[in-house]
């Protein structure tokens, strides 16, 4: 079951300062750790499972990292965290 990700109000401003780093899926701050868990999101910015991706691959917005603080604040996103990259 897809879960809505609630972006912080300052997501856009944080993302604009990210530079080359990947923005956190929740707060938009740069995630510099290559070991950050990744979450697959769709065009409604909902976290999706692998099965949900396979049902509607055209809705994918790709995989985005989540920072450790945001993951602590949003335990509902933990089941969507994919294998650590790298």
Using CB under 5 A as the criterion, which residues of the chain lie in contact with Zn ion when the complex forms?
Answer: 24, 26-27, 67, 70
Rounded distance between C-alpha atoms, residue 7 and residue 10, angstroms:
8
State in angstroms the smallest separation of the CB of 25 from Zn ion.
7
Rounded distance between C-alpha atoms, residue 23 and residue 26, angstroms:
8
Could you tell me if 53 and 20 are in contact, meaning their C-beta atoms sit under 8 angstroms apart? no
Q: Which is nearer to Zn ion, 24 or 41 (CB)?
A: 24
Q: Say how many C-beta atoms besides its own lie within 10 A of residue 84's C-beta.
A: 12
Rounded distance between C-alpha atoms, residue 54 and residue 25, angstroms:
21
Q: Which is nearer to Zn ion, 24 or 38 (CB)?
A: 24
Q: Which residue is nearest to Zn ion (CB)?
A: 24
Q: Which is nearer to Zn ion, 50 or 69 (CB)?
A: 69
State in angstroms the smallest separation of the CB of 5 from Zn ion.
10
State in angstroms the smallest separation of the CB of 43 from Zn ion.
20
């Amino acid at each position: 079951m897809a879960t809505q990700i609630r972006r912080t109000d300052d997501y856009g401003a944080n993302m604009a300062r990210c530079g080359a780093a990947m923005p956190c899926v929740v707060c938009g701050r740069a995630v510099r750790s290559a070991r950050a868990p990744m979450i697959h999101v769709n065009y409604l910015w909902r976290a999706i499972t692998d099965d949900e991706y396979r049902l509607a691959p055209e809705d994918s917005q790709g995989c985005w990292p989540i920072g450790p603080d945001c993951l602590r604040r949003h335990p509902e996103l933990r089941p969507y965290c994919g294998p650590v990259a790298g």
